[in-house]
Amino acid sequence: MKKPRIVAFAGSTRSDSFNKKLIKHVAKAAEEAGAEVTLVDLRDYRMPLYDGDLEADSGLPEKAAELKVLLSEADALAISSPEYNGSLSAVLKNSIDWLSRPGAVEGSVFAKKVGLIVSASPGALGGLRGLVHLRSILTNLGVFVIPGQRAVGSAQTVFDANGDWSDQGVRAQIESLAAELVSVAGRLKG
C-alpha cells in the first residue's frame, strides 16, 4: 500500500513562530508513522488579498495555483494555526479562500481530505478559539477533520531555544495525533 501523502503548514509567516515549530514536529511524527509529508511555508506562497474582481481579471495568482496543485496531490493536510483575536490568522484565511477557488486543477483541493488541526500560543488557551473557526471552515469545504486536536498553551515553555521539545507530555500527544492522521488517511486511501 502506498504511503498517505500529507501537506503540512503553519498559518503564520513569522520566522520564529511557535506554530512553525509545532508543524515541523507534526510533520516529523507523521513521517515516522509512515506518511510522505511535504512541509510548506506560506511565506513561500504569498498571495494578494482575495478579491473577486482580481480573480475575474487575472484568474488564480501564480503562487495560489502552485499550492493548489500540491494540495490536490495530497491525501491529507495538517495545519498549525495561530490565534489572532480569537480566530485564525489573515494569511491562513486568505490562503484557504484562494485555494477554494476554481482553476489550476479540477474540483476542490479540500473535499474528501483528512485534516489535523493544532495550535500553539504563549497564552493559556494555546490558540483553542482559533481552532474552532478553522475546524468549521475546513469542514464546510469537505475536509474530514479528525476529532482530536491540540492547543498548546504556554508555548514558550514547550519548546527549547532550538525549537525542540522541552515538554515530553505535549510531544507524546502531538505524536499520537500525527499517527492518527496517518492511520485515518491511509485507511481512506486504501
Question: What are 57-112's pLDDT values in tens digits?
Answer: 999 999 999 999 999 999 999 999 999 999 999 999 999 999 999 876 777 899 99
Residue 152 pLDDT > 80: yes
Whole-angstrom distance, CA of residue 75 vs CA of residue 14: 27
**Strand 76-80, strand 83-84: pairing:** unpaired
- Going from N- to C-terminal start, the domains of the chain cover 5-189
Spatial distance between the Cα atoms of 52 and 82, rounded to a whole number of angstroms = 26
pLDDT at residue number 104: 65
Question: What grid cell was written down for 146?
Answer: 479528525
Superfamily of domain 5-189: Flavodoxin domain (3.40.50.360)
Confidence (pLDDT) at 1: 63
In angstroms, the CA 154 to CA 124 distance is 6
pTM: 0.95
Rounded CA-CA distance 169/157 in Å is 12
CB 34 within 8 A of CB 182: yes
pLDDT more than 90, % of the chain: 92
Asked whether the predicted pLDDT for residue 2 surpasses 90, the reply is: no
Which has the closest alpha carbon to 96: 112, 79, 83?
A: 79
Looking at residue 105, its pLDDT comes to: 76
Burial of 19 (0-12, 13-18, 19+ CB in 10 A): buried
Mind listing the pLDDT tens digit for each residue in 8-36? 999 999 999 999 999 999 999 999 999 99
What is the rounded average pLDDT of the residues 154-161? 93
